[in-house]
Amino acid sequence: MQEADKQEIIKEVISWIKTIVAAVVFAVCITQFVIVNAKVPTGSMMDNIMPNDRIVAFRLSYINSGPKRFDIIVFRFPDDPKQLYVKRVIGLPGEIVTIKAGKVYINDNSTPLDDSFVRTQPYEEDFGPVTIPEDSYFMMGDNRNNSADSRVWLKKYVIKEDILGKVLFRYFPSFRILYNT
């Protein structure tokens, strides 16, 4: 093998290494600063998100504003911040949440929230009233009877700094947009 051929092979190998390193750095930056890629381990969000679904959340969703009611978000679990949870925002900062006969009421309104996205049996136990602290959110799973959420957590609320992103879509086992579910 001639010296020129060896030099070409070395250049090619270096080119491949640069490409691989750049791809890894790009992937790490995207997952650390732009998206959250998560696997949902439980059925607490059924029927909208099923156990073992893979989802993507957008980390930059709440830079200039807070979550809105009914957003599905990924956050650090208040009772164990090492765990990530996926739930739906029900109560906003400063609001009063009351649950009567499976219906959620905000600020003593006589009309319950329209939670038609809940496809499971209604949660029959009463809860509250509770007042949500500033910069905090009251979360519930869509599978109300089988969801460990703000109703049962020791630390009832998710603070804004623990919110990692707004769920945009499920990509496994099939693609489905979730941000307006």
Instruction: State the pTM of this model.
Output: 0.82
- Spot the catalytic one: 6, 11, 15, 44: 44
Lookup result for tokens 């791809």: 23
- Catalytic (active site) residue 87: yes
Residue 123: pLDDT above 70?
Answer: no
Mean pLDDT of the chain: 87
Residue 39: pLDDT above 90?
Answer: no
- Spot the catalytic one: 87, 136, 150, 156: 87
Residue 143: pLDDT above 60?
Answer: yes
* CA distances (Å), origin 101, targets 123, 128, 129, 151: 7, 12, 13, 14
Establish whether the linkage from the previous residue to 173 is cis, with ω within 30° of 0. Answer: yes
Structure tokens at 118: 């809940």
* Helix runs in the chain, H state only: 3-33
What are the structural domains of the chain? 34-92+133-177 (2.10.109.10)
